[in-house]
Chains A and B, each alone.
Chain A
Amino acid sequence: MTAPLVVAEAVEMSFAPRGILAGGRPVRAVAGVDATVAKGEALGVVGESGSGKSTLGRLLLGLLAATGGSVRFDGEPLPKPGSAAWRKLRARMGIVFQDPFGSLDARRSIGAQVMDGLTIHTTLNAAEREERTAALFRRVGLDPQRMGAYPHEFSGGQRQRLGIARALATSPDFLVADEPVSALDVSIQAQVVKLLAELRGDLGLAMLFISHDLPVVRHLCDRVIVMYLGRVMEEGPVAQVFARPLHPYTVALLSATPMLDPAKRAQRVILPGEPPSPSNPPSGCVFRTRCLHARPACAEAVPPLRSLDQSGHRVACIRAEEIG
């Protein structure tokens, strides 16, 4: 494996309840996660909504200041959000959002928005910026002639291409893509996933790819982490995690994914109940209130992520050997 680019150790994010009257407990959106993204690697993050995927992405980018643990980028701890060093670092990281409509400013031309990174971080003159932006447009499959147009003239897929171009303007090393294709039709999804895969290859980008669509992650990523209620349940190379899931939650997630040939997927496991509130998680294994294999011992201690073999496939379940 190549050198790690982003390393998070026991990173934590608690959101304090807002206002004096709100009372209640803080929401632990991310509760002690270790994650590493190597240079040029694509790490997938899967899990249900509310499991802390987006929060983890923003922690790794340093857009949120962690309330616990640490994140290092290229060997250095992330600077404080808003500081000069932090702002300079923005040029080396990019983010692509889920909502193709909300993530572009409806009132500015798309060219100006894609160019923002260059305007902020480079000393290029207007003509040079223009030229670089045109090249970016071509790179993501859009017509540079349309740089003066406004976002509403574009379809969802084209807007996602614009979002990608904007994130790539400063040639970053690390890209967080937060559900970039979830809002698109499957025909368009495949186009955008293909573009991301190509860019990753051409530019040697390291990528954190957040998705709740497991098959997309399997095609695009090298490794995947499975999150539930702010914690990592399972982690490993995509081929192994998807072919031989070890954690009961991953099993349920995979079995719930609709397949073109339902005979090919495992017997469907329907999870009982709903995810508990992240402000009041169950003791011990956080998944135990919905786990079909739960035992009294599962409530005692938080199961550590552990390897069952040498492949880097790790699971946080005390019964993984018995049920796997």
Chain B
Amino acid sequence: MRRLYLPGLAVLFICLVAAAAPLLPMPDPIRQDVANRLAAWLPGSPLGRDEFGRDVLSRLIWGARSSLMVAFIASAIAAVVGTALGLLGGWFRGVAEFLAIRGADVVLCFPPVLLALLVVTLLGPGTATLILVLSVLYLPGFIRVSFAEVLSARNQDYVEAVRALGAPTMRILLRTVLPNIAGPVLVQFSLAVAAAVVLESGLSFLGLGVVPPTPSWGLMIRGARSTMEQAPMLLVWPCVALTFTILAMNILCDAVRDIADKRGGGGAKRLRLVDRLLPGLFPPPASPAPLLDVQGLTVEIAVPGGVIKPVEDVSFSLSAGRTLAIVGESGSGKSMAATAIMGLLPPAARAADGVARFEGEDLLRMPEAQRRRLRGGAMAMVFQDPMSSLNPVHRIGDQVAEAIRAHRDVTAEAARREAVDLLKRVGIADPERRARAYPHELSGGMRQRVMIAMAIANKPRLLIADEPTTALDVTVQAAILELLAVLRREEGMGVVLITHSLGVVAEVAEDVVVMYAAQVVERGPVAEVFARPLHPYTRALLAAVPDGDAEPEGIPGVVPRPDQWPPGCRFAPRCAHATEACNAAPPALEGQGDRAVRCIRWREIAP
């Protein structure tokens, strides 16, 4: 909001001054006084007098009045008519679309000055003509913007929803579509006003706009030109006024757009990971230690109200050739833990505590350069949304080849051949041809296979897969999980699989870590944990799966937000077994053989 104040005040000031021109104690802007021609300063004329001895300040302010009035009225006409045409064209398509869009194209074909000349010759110069010309000129912008917005809005479910309710078309257009396209139209409006101010001045300067002696900035510049040598300031003042007005308006437009476009900020945004898999080769040190050993991992994010910990004291370890699953509801910190291990945390977050040893070396304390060599080489990651990790403008074969060449010294040709082999390996039919495809030409399952091909391009020893199959059909999911299992068997790769599907865990993982509200609440071998869950949360999750004959039971409530964690056990508000004691202090993670559980009552309530 603060961004609005300064430009808003500036524009408001300009408009107020322009509107108040008749009330201000100023000399008449058109009264000539040849005796004081070009005077630099006179009492009552702080900016001096122009070539006819008229007061410059007064003319500037009255000029603002005519410039702004013309610009606002013309833009408003263009906005109303253009938006209406765009709305109708985008909603009804067919003839309406043809008329609106082709009409806009025709207008766009005319050079603005030519159009102005044409209209002025026909109707004679003057303010009304100018408004007409400008509104016609800015019409296409509004038609196109609103047309494009309507096209995308009409495919949205919330529009389909009101249509399905039988709302009359007018109501849909006015109540649902219009408010949702208002942001871009508003921006277009502010751009049009700013541009109209410039064009008004330009046309007036050429003698095609406002007729003398009415003051206007364009006319002032035109007049000042002839006396530029004697009185250069006469040229400066209208130019400064013009520049200041347009700058203020443009900054205001930007701020307005940003605020207008804030469609709900509540939903957690997925992390955009610009940092892609950068492959490198690293000689495998023969270490007896587990492949990945994470102890006490804690991630902190500084937010306006303090520091939140979306991952807190997370520990687990993974041996080569095994699969460990991390499960939990959305918002429990699974992805954040994985990105911390990979060193791909977003800038605001940092790994505040703990260690994550990969083959004995702490990934969290390692210099970024060293970690980058590991990433995509010895360890790789696959994300849920392959589209955000693939470059839309490059062929997939080239992207896989690039992943190979980024750290291995092979020729482009060899890398390309290897890329085709990899595509074949991940089960892409006709890999030669597919290598030349762009990401958008592939189905979701194919793109996920390409991501996996890139991830395994340099034979990683650790693969972290974050919801790799969540967006896919079960048939495709089965094929991808099968592929991961084969790679793990044949390459001895260790896999960390993040998922919220317990069925997937049961199918592919040996060990499982259950996370809730940033913490590990239960950990152990999958077969044991699923057969005899110790933590009430694990049990509730298992009971929610619609499998077998029992009616699936939901868990009431939702995962609390990181700034609103309950003081004691974080699951207490949703736990069927919660007692007073649960709220008193946070339970510790208790080890029990190869299992661990974070619940003070697990012994009493275990079956």
Contact = CB atoms under 8 A, between A and B. Distances in A.
Interface residues of A, number: 77
Nearest to B500: A185
Given A107-B263, A274-B443, A90 B555 contact: no
B267 A190 contact: no
B445 A105 contact: no
A300 interface: no
Interface stretch (A2-10, A37-45, A146-154): A146-154
A138 interface: no
Contacts of A151: 264
Interface in B133-186: 156-158, 160-169, 171, 175-176, 179-180
B167 A187 contact: no
Contacts of B443: 274
Contacts of A87: 166-168
Given A99-B157, A105-B158, 18 more contacts: A91-B166, A103-B161, A105-B180, A116-B167, A117-B165, A152-B263, A154-B266, A188-B554, A190-B546, A190-B553, A192-B554, A213-B474, A214-B474, A216-B546, A261-B506, A270-B478, A270-B479, A273-B429
B475 interface: yes
A95 B544 contact: no
Contact of A259 (B156, B506, B544): B506
Contacts of B160: 63, 95, 97
Interface of A: 48-49, 61, 63, 82, 86-91, 93-95, 97-99, 101-108, 113, 116-117, 120-121, 150-158, 163, 166-167, 169-170, 185-194, 212-216, 218-219, 252-253, 255-262, 264, 268, 270-271, 273-274
B166 A104 contact: no
B562 to A, nearest CB: 14
B504 interface: yes
A258 B554 contact: no
Nearest to A91: B166
B267 A152 contact: yes
Contacts of B265: 152
Contacts of B329: 185, 187-188
Interface of B: 156-158, 160-169, 171, 175-176, 179-180, 263-267, 329-330, 429, 443-446, 473-479, 482, 500-504, 506-507, 530, 540-548, 551-556, 558
**In the A-B complex, the 10 residue pairs with the closest CB atoms:** A152-B264, A90-B166, A258-B503, A191-B554, A190-B554, A103-B157, A256-B478, A152-B266, A187-B555, A215-B546
A122 B167 CA distance: 12
Interface centre among B165, B168, B180, B443 (most CB of A within 10 A): B165
Contact of B264 (A86, A150, A215, A258): A150
A18 B92 CA distance: 15
B545 to A, nearest CB: 6
Contact of A102 (B156, B266, B330): B156
A190 B504 CA distance: 17
A82 B166 CA distance: 8
A135 to B, nearest CB: 18
A156 B331 CA distance: 12
Nearest to A93: B164
20 contacts: A49-B473, A89-B166, A91-B166, A102-B157, A105-B158, A116-B167, A152-B265, A152-B266, A167-B161, A185-B500, A187-B329, A188-B329, A188-B558, A190-B553, A214-B474, A216-B546, A256-B475, A259-B547, A270-B478, A274-B446
A219 B550 CA distance: 9
B110 to A, nearest CB: 26
Nearest to B429: A273
A258 B474 contact: yes
B546 A106 contact: no
Contacts of B446: 274
B165 A90 contact: yes
A274 B500 CA distance: 26
Contacts of A158: 558
Contacts of A167: 161, 164
B167 to A, nearest CB: 5
Nearest to A87: B166
B325 to A, nearest CB: 12
A87 B478 CA distance: 43
Contacts of B540: 187
B264 A186 contact: no
A260 B161 contact: no
Contacts of A108: 175-176, 179
Nearest to A249: B475
Nearest to A95: B164
A186 B501 contact: yes
Contacts of A212: 473-474
Interface centre among A90, A152, A166, A190 (most CB of B within 10 A): A190
Contact of B545 (A63, A214, A260, A264): A260
Given A102-B157, A270-B479, A186 B545 contact: yes
A153 B558 CA distance: 13
A28 B215 CA distance: 65
Given A63-B163, A185-B500, A191-B556, A82 B169 contact: yes
Contact of B164 (A94, A98, A271): A94
A258 B507 contact: yes
A258 B504 contact: yes
A270 B482 contact: yes
Contact of B475 (A188, A252, A264): A252
A270 B162 CA distance: 41
